[in-house]
């Protein structure tokens, strides 16, 4: 008997799920179309932008520490990475032998997580804003710079914050 009820319930469940999937797909299509329109020619969401590698950071007091060894994407000057930690995610670039920049990875436009790095600039996946490794806006739609944190380097350990 319970089997009978189960069989009746199942089509309703799966059609509801199917409806949700379709609705979500339609919504994202509409959202993407709206974004493409809103951005015009200058700020469409980028495609084929190289993605940053991820490095884990460890929270120590009020700072985040990152060990940088020879295999790290931050081993060479010009390298950049996303540093993930329980205190947040940072965009980190090596700008000199012992100099680094550390920025928030949250875009100042609509708070997407920035994950792209192209031609020495960070690129937001949502609407294509570009920022220098110092956080300055190169291309909008974002107009405000990315927040910068202190970054110091010693004994192969980068300390953020």
Q: How far apart are CA 83 and CA 64, in angstroms?
A: 9
Q: How far apart are CA 148 and CA 92, in angstroms?
A: 10
Q: How far apart are CA 97 and CA 9, in angstroms?
A: 64
DSSP β-bridge partners for residue 117: 122
Q: How far apart are CA 101 and CA 79, in angstroms?
A: 11
Cβ closer to ligand FES: 46 or 73? 46
Residue 109 interacts with ligand FES (CB under 6 A)? yes
Stretch that binds ligand FES, among 20-28, 78-86, 90-98, 119-127 (CB under 6 A): 119-127
Distance of closest approach, residue 51 Cβ to ligand FES, in angstroms:
15
Q: Are 69 and 157 in contact (CB under 8 A)?
A: no
Residue 123 interacts with ligand FES (CB under 6 A)? no
Residue 107 interacts with ligand FES (CB under 6 A)? yes
Cβ closer to ligand FES: 23 or 118? 118
Residue 141 interacts with ligand FES (CB under 6 A)? yes
Residues that bind ligand FES (CB under 6 A): 107, 109-110, 112, 124, 126-127, 129, 141-142
């Amino acid at each position: 008997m319970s089997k009978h009820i189960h069989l009746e319930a199942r089509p309703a469940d799966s059609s509801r799920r199917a409806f949700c999937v379709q609705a979500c797909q339609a919504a994202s299509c509409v959202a993407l179309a709206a974004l493409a329109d809103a951005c015009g020619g200058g700020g469409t969401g980028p495609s084929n932008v190289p993605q940053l590698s991820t490095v884990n950071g460890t929270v120590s007091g009020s700072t985040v520490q990152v060990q940088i060894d020879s295999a790290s994407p931050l081993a060479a000057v010009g390298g950049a990475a996303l540093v993930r930690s329980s205190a947040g995610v940072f965009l980190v670039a090596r700008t000199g032998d012992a100099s680094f920049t550390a920025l928030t990875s949250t875009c100042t436009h609509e708070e997407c997580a920035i994950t792209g790095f192209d031609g020495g600039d960070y690129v937001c996946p949502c609407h294509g804003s570009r920022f220098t490794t110092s956080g300055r806006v190169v291309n909008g739609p974002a107009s405000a710079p990315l927040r910068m944190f202190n970054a110091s380097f010693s004994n192969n350990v980068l300390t953020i914050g």
